[in-house]
Chain A
């Protein structure tokens, strides 16, 4: 018996309810987009978990490298003036 080849891998994103964005739920193998959608429906929405499905071939996703995490995201920590709580305003002035 030979291992054979796997069909391409797809990442599955599901919109759980109207008004929410799609969220990654997992992956699956399928030989084309149509089959990926059908499989995603069977594998990831058996209990009405979704209103809409996106499938994206895994090789089409470009991800940031874990090693770059600090240089990419740490600078934001120092920019506390981007948050409303940074600013002192009097309590008696409303709607701020």
Chain B
């Protein structure tokens, strides 16, 4: 957008104080408002990584589109994957309002400088995994994203609201798949249990490191980018999901999981933090495959992008020539 006038001449410190006061009063920060450089940087990192996760998140499910067990399941899965592309685009748009070009963010993903969610680096071994992904992965994402709807940065909060609205179908279609498997034949039930066994712990890791070890949190809390801590969100997810597994007659793969009357929450076993670290830093079961697929898609699309630009340019020249001729 065009800057019609330069902002006032108040000092950096005054601006910072005014900014924090606005955040404290729950007034949303908008793209052209003054903001600390670190706030901007932090948001670009978080929103672009969130966008990358949506985009990479299409890959594990994509390979099941042609193998969906019915047309009904196939159109549902396609719609879910299309939503994920859309969600990636809403988020890139939100991140761009902070002044970083989209091409730069995508390059950061492809060159390995930017991270994306750990969860998409696990293999999708059976159709029941598609159910488990919708139920657990989208369920965890929704918990995380509902908290982000109250984030201090307007464009991010608005993208989150829209995404949450659209994603509730993802979770429900996943649970419906789990129901048809868990209440199906013995073999189907075994597949459902195996999917839960493999996806439960990685889903818990989606909430990030424990509050004891997290690097970015305290400043993000003061800036109201992060409204609820990783461990609180994780607990909320566990409390919500255990009864859903009970209904399916499936067993959580955690011997330490039990209701704690005193806390009013489920206690659960220790997460394998070393695994999370490994997967996030590039050494999960499918990291290389996911990135290779992403980069190939981007490179294979180069000629299409170039042709579109050339066509638009040709059309512009023709139109201006026609205009001149008419004058």
Contacts and interface: CB of A to CB of B under 8 A. Distances in A.
Interface string B291-313: 00001000100000100110110
A61 B1 contact: yes
B316 A46 contact: no
Contact of B34 (A3, A66, A68): A66
Interface size class of A (residues with CB under 8 A): 20 to 34
Contacts of B3: 65
B2 interface: yes
Contacts of B2: 59, 61-63
Interface stretch (B103-111, B192-200, B225-233, B255-263): B103-111
B96 interface: yes
A68 B36 CA distance: 19
B6 A3 contact: no
A2 interface: yes
Contact of B103 (A3, A28, A32, A46): A3
Interface residues of B, number: 40
B101 A67 contact: no
Interface string A60-96: 0111111110000000000000000000000000000
Contacts of A64: 4
B301 to A, nearest CB: 11
Nearest to A8: B312
B30 interface: yes
B20 to A, nearest CB: 16
A96 B323 CA distance: 55
Contacts of A7: 305, 308-309
Interface string B76-94: 0001001100100110010
B127 to A, nearest CB: 25
B107 A2 contact: yes
Nearest to B169: A47
B21 to A, nearest CB: 15
Interface of A: 1-7, 9, 26-29, 31-32, 35, 42-44, 46-47, 58-59, 61-68
Interface of B: 1-8, 30, 32-34, 79, 82-83, 86, 89-90, 93, 96-97, 101-104, 106-107, 110-111, 159, 166, 295, 299, 305, 308-309, 311-312, 315-316
17 contacts: A1-B295, A4-B107, A6-B102, A27-B93, A27-B97, A31-B312, A32-B311, A42-B86, A43-B86, A43-B89, A46-B166, A47-B166, A63-B2, A63-B32, A65-B7, A66-B7, A68-B5
